[in-house]
Structure 1
Amino acid sequence: MVSVRQGARPRLRNGAAALAAVSMLSAAALLAACGGGGGDSGTPAASSGNSAGNGNPPGGAPGAPNAPPASGLATTPGGPAISIEPAPQTVSAGQQAFFMVKADGATSYQWYRNGHAISGATSSNYFAPAAQSGDDGAVFAVAVSNGIGTTASTNATLNFNTAADASPPASFWGSTASLPPATQVMTFAFLNRTNGKVPDSQIFWQIQGRSASGQQINEFHSIADAPTFDSPGINSARMYFYIAPTIAGATQTPTSYYDFIEFNLGRGDATQPWNFNGDTTRVDAFGLKLAIRLQCTGGTDVVRGEDYGTFLEDRSVTFAKYLATVPAEFLTTGTQNAPYRIVEPGGAANFQPGGANAAYYDSYVDTVWAANGIDPAIVPKPMAFLRFADGSRPDLIAAIERHVADQPGTFKADGTLVNPNFWSTLPQSAFYPAGPANYYAKFWHTHGIDALAYGFSYDDVGAHSSDIGCNSPQRLVVAVGW
């Protein structure tokens, strides 16, 4: 998780870039592709309430330190008009709430917590310090000025999710016990968790592949028409999700809202139990918020995907948060295909051979090879963006992506680890300590359930990916968010 030391200045980054993207990501523009809003299938509690289910009212007890101020901030005539107000944020311990505002013509900003000015918080966006339970119900607002007058924003509440892994509450998943049992191998269930932005009739799921018995499978439905699927065994498949006005518009293009999970549902032979293995993935891009819950007869009950706070916020906030988090070299990954996709660095033009940042990793790669005595005749240095000749050195690739490969004695001349237990000696908090690093992947870990994500092809090295599996699976519930 990203953290701020006690007494550190608030984190204010890439404000202009984030707001430029928000202009492209207005709610009207985003919803136009889907014909407006709609209802969720079992919509979770509104994000402005105590959505984490921790038993405390959103504003704290009367007279508590986090009680909101009795009166709002002062507004004076002639101030800029606010077009995007700060939105509520739900965060778990160690995560940072992100607040932003858009006001055309604004020349100065001052953020407030519970009516008190925050020192140094004078940008269009504000990252609060790493959250603690005592922050639950804190109220944030901003005053924007243009030299003529001042306009006060509406309040935005910080809601603290008591789940240490940042996962959603049980209510988010609905009653899994009431799902129809499988007559074949396992039940897939699909949930609309777009917070009312999109109706069930405009969220589509698709499974294509070949069953274990050789039967061709081609299922393509809306959640409204088919909220569940009785699945046979399917080998090495993808489950796609789309948001579109009609099924004809559910396509896989750079200007489409779509995403997928990867899975395998198989067994060696009829004497063995069925096995499910799957993951949410950000290896290629972010398109839609996805979370999965796997339940099996042996007691396995595990969740992966985007965290609860990410599901509760609008995608325009997610895009803006991403742009305000990553360094300048990575901004194009969030703008190149906005508002549809945030692409992985290798898919961004500036990281391609000949691009402005094609050499982003070059000096670090040189350092890693020199510090460890890696023989380039055995392991050629990668091309942009970290394109290795082959994938036979997953530990080396992962260590470079995470910026933990440069200590002498980490790798042998052939690019394999000196200590096979290297990853067990290094906590995830030690990853991405400095650039160059894959800050795209870091973002999805920061906002993933249990800080796990598939941010690049070998992110499973060291067991840090969103991969899950079990024998004798019963059901997989997939939540689709906006």
Structure 2
Amino acid sequence: MNRLLSWLGACLAFLALSVSVPTTQAQTNASFSHGVALNGSQATLWFKSNVATTWVDAHYQLNGGPQQNLRMPFNGGAARYELALAGAAVGTRVDYWFTYNNGNPAYDSARFSATVASGGGTTDPGTPQNPGNPGNPADWNAKTTFKIENATNGRWPDSQVYWAIIGKSWQTGEFVHVDAGGNVVPMRLSDNTVTKNGRKYANYFFPLSQTKQITIPPVNSARVLMSVGSPMFIEVNTDGAGNIAYAGANIENASDPNLDVIFDFGEFALIPKGQPDQGIFINTTRVDHFGFPLKLRVQGLGGYDKTVGEPLTESRDALFTKFQQEVPVEFRSLADPNFANVPYRTRILAPAHFTFRPGDVNGAYLDGYIGDMWNRFKTQDLVFTLDNLGTFRGRVDGSTNRFVFTGGRSNGTYYINGKPNTAEVFLGSGKLDDPRKPDGSFQVDTPADAAKSIQLQIQAQVCAALNRHVLATPADWYRPAAFYPAGTRGNWFAKFWHDHSIKGTEGAANGYGLAYGFAYDDVGGFSPSLHTNAPTTVTYTIGW
């Protein structure tokens, strides 16, 4: 339940970076083996890589309990990564997946399941876990049809609704775009043929009047880009090493050509057939901004049929109006243009992209609440339990403002190295993404104490609780009814999108809108991410 959970959220720097290179992608190929072993009374989750892996994070649940996320220590004798599963015994069901690197890129695996069995092993090792009724993966033809539906109620004719698919090739790792015939085509500098403001941009977009659906093969690290009134403007360029890259929209750049374009996007990875995690990982997101109401439906073999996003029962204008009515006054400016050349009601910006940045008018918005919490826990302990990791006690050192946590099953010591500011809380950055110890050295994961992973996990829990204004009451950390108490300071931008999104049906999210309102809004299982191993149709519906 920490930042490592954000398999898509970590990719959402797209709007703020000039070169779009995600930090977490879906797994590229059958590059590892895995399982759950039982040695005596100790159950161990293991991962053996066949590629250039230097770290692995395990995400697991025991008997459907809360998800844990820990860095796996490397066992040199066995030449594999291993993690002791505290609390697992014969008969325990283990649902798990991995995040790991292959060189610089990081990848997410499929979901697996195993039951700890006597005799040193597990039953049903490696069974993919997918919501709904997964089809037989062998029956999938390794192609998925992407559809865009125009539900703008006549505001935008099909000739003025544009879309494109861009991503990376599984075979070469090159940046690619998809043409109207569904062919995956490498990006080239010569693709820059569309002019705006005297500069040329890639000609990758086509209107719905030309095509409403495209059937594509697997593509990695991909985005479906959608806009109305004008295509978006992305520029193919080269990185410092001379490799082809591209510059995406940057909504904080006063000269960006997309500032006056109303656009939105979804992210996905379509994984090749035959890989352990074949199929699709896909979402909608509000981490960076809102362009227009967007609904996502994914259908697949075996009756898989899930829908997330906005329900399209509220118009775009109504959402703008309700946003300014429902959020505190400090957040209302997020619906205003952030530059003079941005038309009225072009987008609603996330706090960290506008007035809540350091030095801006709301840059200290949460500082008072953060200070109150730090002062509170100078004189009393913050006590909370993370399933399978044990109970922790935290106390703020009055002389350094360092939050020191002790305990857990490893009886370790973990830190938040000072009081964070508003931006660090909204972004989950800085002191809330810091594996260092007080002396500046880094925490290290060992078989006895996964100190680095536990420290980052504690920081993520505190970050999410501060966003939701529930830090003082750990019993409420994953209880949506307690989030964002009336009259308090929290991430009201995020709350708004949960309130106006399609509701979840499982676990703590049952009856609570699924949305990505901030980068670690998935803490507790509230994200709108979908996965199936045999996807047949993906439909994004644009509302207005």
TM-score interval, smaller chain: 0.5 to 0.7
Q: Decide whether aligned partners of structure 1 residues 182 and 205 sit closer, same or farther in structure 2, where only a CA change above 3 A counts.
A: farther
Q: CA deviation at 1:384?
A: 3.2
- Is contact 1:209-1:237 (8 Å) kept? yes
Cα deviation code 1:179-204 (max 9, x no counterpart): xx996421111100101110111111
Distance 2:275 2:354 in 1: 47
Name the SS for the 1:366 alignment partner: helix
C-alpha distance in 2 between matches for 1:272 and 1:459: 27
The answer on 1:401 being equivalent to 2:467 is yes
Cα distance in 2 for partners of 1:237, 1:382 equals: 33
- Give the deviation of 1:475 after TM superposition: 1.2
Write the deviation string for residues 133-158 of structure 1: whole angstroms up to 9, x where unpaired: xxxxxxxxxxxxxxxxxxxxxxxxxx
**Contact 1:346-1:384 at 8 Å conserved across structures:** no
Aligned to 1:339: 345
Alignment pair present for 1:365 and 2:370: yes
Letter of the 2:333 counterpart = T
Relative distance call for 1:395 and 1:249 in structure 2 (3 A) is closer
Contact (CA 8 Å) 1:185, 1:274: kept in 2 or not?
no
Where does residue 137 of structure 1 map in the other structure? none
**Residues 1:199 and 2:157 aligned together:** yes
- From the superposition, tell whether residues 458 and 374 of structure 1 become closer, same or farther in structure 2 (CA, over 3 Å): farther
Partner of residue 453, structure 1:
515
Q: Is this contact kept in 1: 2:289–2:348, CA < 8 A?
A: yes
Report the equivalent of 2:263: 258
* TM-aligned CA distance change 1:264 to 1:431, over 3 Å: same
Find the counterpart in structure 1 of residue 227 from structure 2.
242
Q: Is the 8 A contact 2:163 2:231 kept in 1?
A: no
| Residue of structure 2 equivalent to 1:328 | 329
**Take 1:319 and 1:183, find their aligned partners in 2: how far apart are those partners?**
42
8 Å Cα contact 2:294-2:312 kept in structure 1: no
Range with greater deviation from structure 2 (277-286 or 430-439): 430-439
Q: How does 1:295-310 map to 2 (within 5 A)?
A: 295-310=299-314
- Describe the superposition over 1:337-374 as per-residue Cα deviations: whole angstroms up to 9, x where unpaired: 4310100111223x222222222111211233343325
Q: 1:200 to 1:363 in 2, by over 3 A?
A: same
2:357 to 329, 352, 361: 352
| Separation in 2, partners of 1:480, 1:396 | 35
1:274 corresponds to which letter in structure 2? Q
Contact persistence 1:293–1:477 (CA under 8 A): yes
- Name the SS of the counterpart of 2:313 in structure 1: helix
Contact 2:337 2:346 in 1 (8 A): no
* Count of matched residue pairs: 283
TM-score by length of 1: 0.54
Superposition deviation, residue 432 in structure 1? 0.7
Give the structure-2-normalised TM-score. Answer: 0.49
Paired letter, 2:518: F
For residue 437 of structure 1, the aligned residue among 490, 493, 513 is: 490
- Confirm or deny: 8 A CA contact 1:193 1:481 kept in the other structure: yes
Amino acid at match of 2:158: D
Match of 1:218 in 2: 177
CA–CA separation in structure 2 for the residues paired with 1:299 and 1:398: 34
Q: Does structure 2 retain, via aligned residues, the 8 Å contact 1:367–1:406?
A: no
Q: Which residue of 1 aligns with 2:319?
A: 318
Relative to structure 1, is the Cα distance of residues 191 and 374 closer, same or farther in structure 2, using a 3 angstrom cutoff? farther
Q: Which structure: greater strand fraction?
A: 2
User: Which one-letter code corresponds to 2:485 in the other structure?
Assistant: P
Q: Is the Cα–Cα contact under 8 Å of residues 183 and 230 in structure 1 kept in the other structure?
A: no
State the Cα deviation string for residues 277-304 of structure 1 (Å, max 9, x = none).
1111000000121110011213221100
Matched, 1:208 2:270: no
Change (3 A) 1:247 1:437: closer
SS at match of 2:368: helix
SS in 2 for 1:242: strand
Q: State the alpha-carbon separation in 2 of the partners of residues 289 and 462 from structure 1.
A: 24
Does the aligned pair in 2 maintain the 1:182–1:230 contact within 8 Å?
Answer: no
Aligned to 1:383: 421
Residues in 1 aligned to 2:267 and 2:300: alpha-carbon distance in whole angstroms:
18
Unaligned runs of 5+ in 1: 1-180, 411-418
CA distance in structure 2 between the aligned counterparts of 1:332 and 1:271, rounded to whole angstroms: 46
Distance 2:232 2:332 in 1: 32
- Residues 1:282 and 1:333: Cα distance change in structure 2 (over 3 Å): same
In the alignment, the residues of structure 1 paired with residue 422 and residue 539 of structure 2 have an alpha-carbon distance, to the nearest angstrom, of 37
Change in Cα spacing, 1:395 to 1:247, as seen in structure 2 (3 Å) is closer
Query: Which amino acid is the alignment partner of residue 470 of structure 1?
Result: T
- 1:475 — aligned with what? 537
**What does residue 188 of structure 1 align with?**
146
Three-state SS of the structure 1 residue aligned to 2:281 is strand
User: 2: distance between equivalents of 1:361 and 1:469?
Assistant: 35
SS state of the match for residue 536, structure 2? strand
What is the CA distance between 1:247 and its match in structure 2? 6.9
| Structure 2 contact 293–312 (Cα < 8 Å) conserved | no
Q: Which sections of structure 2, spanning at least 5 residues, go unmatched? A: 1-138, 179-204, 236-247, 250-257, 339-343, 383-394, 403-414, 434-455, 504-512
